[in-house]
A and B are shown apart, each in its own frame.
Chain A
Amino acid sequence: MSNWRAASANAEAILEVENLTVDFDTEDGVVHAVRGVTYSLMPGEVLGIVGESGSGKSVSSMALMGLLPRSARVRGSIRYRGSELIGIHRRDLEAMRGTKIAMIFQDPMTSLNPVHRIGNQIAEALRIHHDDMSRQAARDRAIEMLQLVGIPNAAERARSYPHEFSGGMRQRAMIAMTMVNDPDIVIADEPTTALDVTVQAQILEILQRVKEEFNSSVILITHDLGVVAGMADRVMVMYAGKPVEFGTVDQIYENPRMPYTLGLLGSLPRLDSDGTERLTPIRGAPPSLIALPPGCPFQPRCPLAQPLCNDVEPELMATDDSNHTAACHYSSELEGDVEAVEIFEVTTDDSELIPELADDL
């Protein structure tokens, strides 16, 4: 963990997102993909954003880059070092992309142009923002970057085409390409989802190393809670387009105060348990973002739901620690060491198992 808290004491937030909303007009109605996201990112900090598919984590980050399709209506405020990004001219936005805010994509198989050599692609990324740079200088820099992300024989491999690289190598090349313009903020959108578990660990390690090297802040979007735990400083859990819990990694993992977070953690196998505990699934599916009922969006799936939850959607409220906020009327019920099994019902029944297996338990 980096010392973001020490840094935040005397440094301004590098990015402030305030009440960001994104709506899409569709034939079925308006989809409220992001319904009010507020956070700030400190220099050098790693912010993890977790949530299931459709929770708005990717859309909210694409909005930072101005990469959403034109049909998207983005409102709210995004300030990079104090200057507003929403509504600025396209050319100014293009100048920001890559140099101030850059992005690593999920699938390294398709995010590299198949007809260009790896080294040239990285050099090209550099020359977008440095017209005066010579081809040779750009190429040398590209090779340096490839070395930095751990591509062996970088000078030679720079002449390879993407299809000659393995998945892990491509994601490294992608990281090199993203970092070559020394961005202040890197948005990593599920950087490891398309990779093997062993390669995932290497990629995260490289991401961490590169981040330190360039002193960048990282927004790490993932649905893999393990990835977040290993790398992030703070975590924002999103559900149905809104953050539902926000805190440091330790706070979120050790003492989740929103039933959804607890459910997510409870649905994962843990190495520190004795192996006899049941995993607790969160039943049901996320709500449609077209016509949300007035209450808490998690209410239909929530074991703690009370009549109040049906009517009033809770805001993010401070729990026992002011840094740790949760959007739940009854978050105090989760205070202390509450296990998921205590709240969520275990839905599987041992009698359904094959007898021999059941005996082992």
Chain B
Amino acid sequence: MSQSSTSVTTPEDAEAVRGPTGPGPEREFTVAARSQRSMVARRFIRHRLAAASLVVLVFVILLSLVGGRLWKYDYSRTYSDFPINGGPSLDHPLGTDSVGHDLFAQVLRGAQKSVQIMLLVAIVSTTIGIVIGAVAGYYRGFIDAILMRLIDLILTIPLLVIAAVLSVRASKSGSFALALVLGALVWTTLARIVRAEVLSLREKEFVEAARALGASDRRIIFKHLLPNVTGSIIVSSTLTMATAILLETALSFLGLGIKSPETSLGKLVSDGATAAQTRPWLFYGPGFFIIVIVLCVNFIGDGLRDAFDPKQTRVRA
């Protein structure tokens, strides 16, 4: 990537000057060589929106993971001394609901669940997507045809419908099972991306060279091919996270996802939807969190895509 910005530490002619052996005089440029990783990181940071999103998302995630414990009210308890359906106040930043829950405590808890599901879905779908995509692209032929038709099949059925059917069973066994189900459904895009890249990479000479050195298929796939696809994988998985959180929200909104007494952002929005006109804070509070998380994830994905793209020039490293 961007060879021009990598310092040329060894000019072609220096080799001739030095000859094949011996260190010879030091003739290197003083510009420090940058590793691929630091270059991507630098480009990402220069992408202001993405960098800001990362800060916000990390803050939201930290808040949801530890905030619930630090906040003065418990999300599951109903407090009899709370104002019923109270609007936002200093004591209750997001108000209270009709049975005496503090909504901020509930949103923190809901965000925690949603973030957990999001991360789990990302892990599951990335693993499945990478393996299936790499196997299909590397072996081609019959195996490829079978796996690609499987993807077509999953894509033809509306995601929400399968998710709804599967999650009715899964949601009984908790949010973990729900995340597994969602993860098992959203890997298709990643698998296609990985397959496409592996298809072209497998013809490269370094793969043949690895084979000539005695590397097995598994070693070639995991040590030689996949590291070349890292950029696309990271970008795609990030964007999958946004899909996952929206999917969970939609399912919970429909009453098919997270069930009481557990809560998630989607369930909170759903609970508040009926009162959106009269007590808007019940609806917009959790809704705001969903929007913030999804937007941040999307911006980060965008920033990563630009950072990994050697051809983009808008943001210079």
Contacts and interface: CB of A to CB of B under 8 A. Distances in A.
A, B in one complex? yes
Contacts of B22: 152
Contacts of B312: none
Contact of B214 (A107, A110, A128): A128
Contact of B15 (A95, A124, A164, A168): A168
Contacts of A115: 36, 227-228, 230
Contacts of B3: 163
Interface string A86-114: 00000100111111001101010011111
A110 B213 contact: no
Interface in B38-97: none
A114 B212 contact: no
A177 interface: yes
A111 B206 contact: yes
Contacts of B6: 163-164
Contact of A97 (B20, B211, B223, B228): B211
B208 A166 contact: no
Contacts of A99: 214
A39 interface: no
Given A166-B12, A166-B15, A205-B20, A113 B213 contact: no
Nearest to B204: A110
B36 A161 contact: yes
Contacts of A198: 16
Could you say which of B9, B204, B206, B227 has the most chain A C-beta atoms within 10 Å of its C-beta? B206
A243 to B, nearest CB: 23
A113 B224 contact: yes
Interface in B203-239: 204-206, 208-216, 219, 223-224, 227-228, 230
B24 A181 contact: no
Contacts of A181: 213-214
Given A113-B224, A164-B6, A102 B206 contact: no
A174 B9 contact: no
B206 A110 contact: yes
A220 interface: no
B33 interface: yes
A164 B10 contact: yes
A34 B18 CA distance: 43
A124 B209 CA distance: 12
B12 to A, nearest CB: 5
B214 A105 contact: no
Chain B residues touching A, majority SS: helix
B10 A165 contact: yes
A125 B215 CA distance: 8
B205 A94 contact: no
A152 B212 contact: no
B223 A124 contact: yes
Contacts of B20: 150, 202, 205-206
A102 B228 contact: no
B186 to A, nearest CB: 27
Contacts of A346: none
A110 B204 CA distance: 7
Residue picked from A107, A163, A166, A206, most chain B C-beta under 10 Å: A166
B29 to A, nearest CB: 12
Given A110-B204, A114-B228, A115-B228, A166 B212 contact: no
A65 B208 CA distance: 11
Nearest to B229: A115
B210 A95 contact: no
A77 interface: no
B230 to A, nearest CB: 8
B33 A164 contact: yes
A183 B18 CA distance: 29
9 contacts: A94-B215, A105-B205, A110-B205, A110-B206, A125-B213, A166-B11, A178-B213, A199-B15, A202-B20
Given A113-B206, A115-B230, 12 more contacts: A98-B212, A98-B213, A111-B208, A116-B227, A157-B10, A164-B6, A164-B8, A164-B33, A166-B10, A167-B12, A169-B10, A205-B20
Ranked 6 nearest A-B pairs via Cβ: A98-B214, A97-B214, A150-B20, A98-B213, A103-B212, A110-B205
